[in-house]
Amino acid sequence: MKVSVQAVAVWGKTAPSHNITAIMITDDQQTIVTGSQEGQICLWDLSSELKISSKEILFGHTASITCLAKARE
């Protein structure tokens, strides 16, 4: 049985800085993925009207994210 767990990041009044160093868009063109100098990966929703809204921020890398790649199915 496969269990799905959603990660949640909580911070104070201001979000952590995210100086983008890498960017990728998914094949369905609905999600943008950015990597940052601070070692974070952010997922962004992209609407058909080209409006961008934050979805998730992933922490854990200890170095800058300098490139992003997708896995093959």
- Asked if residue 71 has pLDDT above 60, the reply is yes
Residue 69: inside a domain: no
Residue 47 lies in a domain: yes
Distance CA 21, CA 36 (A): 5
Mean of the pLDDT values across residues 39-56?
87
The domain in which residue 52 lies consists of 20-58
pLDDT band at 68 (very low <50, low <70, confident <90, very high): very high
Asked if pLDDT for residue 1 goes beyond 80, the answer is: no
Tell me the mean pLDDT in the region 8-21.
70
In-domain check, residue 14 = no
Q: For residue range 21-46, list pLDDT tens digits in order.
A: 999 999 889 999 999 998 989 999 98
Residue 2 phi/psi, 5-degree rounding, is -90, 125
Split into its structural domains, the chain has a count of 1
pLDDT classification of 54: cutoffs 50, 70, 90: confident
